Amino acid sequence: MKSLLHPVFERRAAFSPWNSDEILRAELFSIERLEQHAASLAAAQQVVQRPRLRPSLHARLRDNETVLLAAYRAIAAATGEGRAISPAAEWLLDNYHLVEKQIREIRQDLPPSFYRLLPKLRDGPFEGYPRVLGVAWAFVAHTDSRFDPESLRCFVRAYQRVQPLTIGELWAVAITLRVVLVENLRRAAARIVSSRAARQGADALADRLLGVNGYTAEPDALLRRDTDRRSFPPAFTVQLLQRLRDQDPRVTPALHWLEELLAAQGTTADAIVRDEQQRQGASNVTVRNLITSMRLLSDVDWPEFFESVSLVDDLLRSGSDFAALDFPTRDLYRRAIERFARGSKLTELEIAAAALAAANEYDATGDGHGDCRRTDPGYYLIANGQPAFEATIGYRNPRFTWPGRFVLAAGVGNYLAAIAVVGCTALSLPLFVLNAWSTPGAHLVLLALLGLIPSLDVAIALVNRAVM
């Protein structure tokens, strides 16, 4: 069985976005080209109802965290020894606390329950991963990791002109941007460490070849040790070339051997030095952009961004007084639309349109003396019009949502009563256990007073979760 499944898993691994260690950096696009690319990406990406099982983003995040921490410690050790470090390494060293913050926020904002609801891609390198991850990946790649809210706004809007994103996906844009930025920084950090190790290896070899820093000269050390090698890491080659240049070729035959090897590969010493300098310069810019973008992400008003790109919001604003509502109420409308879309065959936009149609139909047939609440889509989304609206859209109510529906139907008084019951239960259970252990009454009273507010917080969270 394992041998039969092996080619399947091999195929999936071959298309994994995590296979490459190359820094995520593609052609730099203008706003117009970004919008064109977003449209073509939307046309190409297709979601699937039952995606293939892939390792979660949290598994990759843990791996990235390990690599970044190791890189940070290696760079810190180098500076502690008085060694010079590159600008990219300095950016990472000085801002590692910001990287840790990004990782914490990803874990906090992308719980498994939310991750499961995000539409997954049917095929391509991101097969089985959230569609919005592919959107964020493309944006980061074609901006060289330089975040700009307006560019992102244009990119997301251009994507949705071809294929709408769900409400959950739009909320996940910020999270997946952080995921991709951390991924790219991991790749840059790994390159920093590997290049540094290669340069140190070249220095150690050069010391032997030249007989310096306590070594006895071994002019043929490279030839004797690496006769089977046909290539070296660019950082190693450049460092060795720089150490051996301006030396007597009779004393250092390795330089001539190295130049012949490069010629056989179709390049020259000057070309490989130039390419490595350009590569290092580009890495410095990318790491600077990554750190700056991570800082900017924390300053963005993401609720405002969400509402500026949400097609559901656009539709509700155009057909009702949705914009005049406060943000929590608008969010209640959106949550209801998400729930109805999950429990019916309609999309979120179709649910919003149906609620508007119901409100407009009542407004058109009324005589002006009816229930004015029925002229608002919220009446059908979150109020007494829900049951009839659910029947209209073919909504099938999941059995586990009955507590929330009961509380909503019972009104505010019973909503508060539900909070009180849950809060008292949460508070009384540990007190009951402590009382069974013969805890003094004064201690129980003190613990009850201290636990009152936390118990109410838990109760509010649980009841709200049931209601939503």
Q: Whose structure tokens read 């992102």?
A: 152
Q: How far apart are CA 39 and CA 41, in angstroms?
A: 5
345 and 299 within one domain: no
Radius of gyration of the chain from Cα atoms?
A: 30
Show Cβ contacts of residue 26 under 8 Å, excluding neighbours closer than 6 positions: 141, 142
Residue 118 contacts residue 131 (beta carbons within 8 Å):
yes
Whether 4 is covered by a domain: the verdict is no
Indicate the residue among 350, 365, 397 that finishes a domain: 397
More confident: 398 or 338 = 338
- The chain-wide mean pLDDT, for the chain, equals 85
Whether 289 is covered by a domain: the verdict is yes
With CA atoms as reference, report the closest residue to 397 among 409, 411, 379. 409
**What backbone phi and psi angles, to 5 degrees, belong to 47?**
-95, 165
289 and 323 within one domain: no
Whether 1 is covered by a domain: the verdict is no
Whether 240 is covered by a domain: the verdict is yes
Whether 202 is covered by a domain: the verdict is yes
pLDDT tens digits along 139-168: 999 999 999 999 999 999 999 999 999 999
Q: Whose structure tokens read 């450049």?
A: 238
**Candidate from 29-43, 139-153, 175-189, 268-282 with smallest mean pLDDT:** 268-282
Q: How far apart are CA 304 and CA 173, in angstroms?
A: 13
321 and 440 within one domain: no
195 and 106 within one domain: yes
Q: Which residues pair with 48 in a beta bridge?
A: 120
What's the predicted TM-score (pTM) here? 0.81
Whether 271 is covered by a domain: the verdict is yes
Residue 329 contacts residue 377 (beta carbons within 8 Å):
no
pLDDT tens digits along 339-351: 999 999 999 999 9
Q: How many contiguous H segments (helices) and E segments (strands) does the chain have?
A: 22, 2
378 and 336 within one domain: yes
The b/e string for 30-62 (b: 16+ C-beta within 10 A; e otherwise) is eeeebbebbbebbeebeeeeebeebeebeebbe
Show Cβ contacts of residue 379 under 8 Å, excluding neighbours closer than 6 positions: 359, 373, 385
Residue 265: its pLDDT value, please? 82
Whether 5 is covered by a domain: the verdict is no
181 and 44 within one domain: yes
279 and 427 within one domain: no
| pLDDT at residue 420 greater than cutoff 60 | yes
Percent of the chain with pLDDT over 70: 85
Q: CB count, 10 Å around CB of 90?
A: 16
Residue 11: its pLDDT value, please? 43
Residue length of the chain: 468
Residue 49: its pLDDT value, please? 86
Q: How far apart are CA 423 and CA 345, in angstroms?
A: 37
271 and 158 within one domain: yes
Alpha-helical segments (H) within 110-233: 112-117, 131-141, 149-160, 167-210, 221-225
190 and 56 within one domain: yes
370 and 223 within one domain: no
Q: Which domain holds residue 365?
A: 316-397
Q: CB count, 10 Å around CB of 25?
A: 20
Mean pLDDT of 282-303: 96
Indicate the residue among 275, 309, 343 that finishes a domain: 309
Q: CB count, 10 Å around CB of 63?
A: 14
Residue 58 contacts residue 103 (beta carbons within 8 Å):
no
321 and 468 within one domain: no
Indicate the residue among 378, 397, 416 that finishes a domain: 397
Residue 186: its pLDDT value, please? 97
**Per-residue confidence band for 51, with pLDDT thresholds at 50, 70 and 90:** confident
Mean pLDDT of 308-319: 96
Whether 77 is covered by a domain: the verdict is yes
Residue 466: its pLDDT value, please? 60
134 and 27 within one domain: yes
Percent of the chain with pLDDT over 90: 56
With CA atoms as reference, report the closest residue to 392 among 421, 362, 357, 418. 357
Total domains present in the chain: 3
